[in-house]
A and B are shown apart, each in its own frame.
Chain A
């Protein structure tokens, strides 16, 4: 039980995918302009990340490993992720047209969110079990969502600040993300995993 909790703490705070491992920066910068959008994106990513880490684990353990085809992991994970994202897109389109419109191009872009592939690959390299894989994916997604939502609330404030023109937009966003990463260094050595 403690182990599972530690996995969550590790992925959400200590080894946060965005601010510590610097994965998934594209949607992090792209969708953090508005709080509503980022909440939607956070939910979609959480769903995709958890589901894809589960699927990739199953694919790896029950299809690739028995046949000794471990070297196909990257390509098959990409396949899995693409399908999960497409599936999510259709579900979102059906169930929440508003969210679908708000997320726009970023929903299919989850496919290229390296955090998703990163989680799948790390699951393998860390030799996580079934539950650990799901938790690891879920924790990574929660960590991503957590900083994404906080960051978007902060960006709404920064967007109206008197920022020098050359630093407007993404530049100040990256600087802020850097400062946030600095703040997240406070969690260093909190959990060793």
Chain B
């Protein structure tokens, strides 16, 4: 179990280093960087590589935003396998996406309780 945590740490950390290089060297904005990573995630799943990657790295592969692309593609592919081409469209949100629904729910809750503060430490 400790070994799994270490692998998640190292793999997750390395993905973030790629993101940092996209920020600092390629001078991309956060929105560009994250969109790019999501697209990479869905392409990797199309090649059948992302699921083995999750088997290997656990949270190191599911926590980075790339896994969004993976789960969307995975849902579309699973449905397409059953129902053919039309499944591509209907299956997209079948498997996912707790991240999106959680973000919406918690976003509205946060708007109810919190106010923004502009202070720096």
The judgment on whether A and B are partners is no
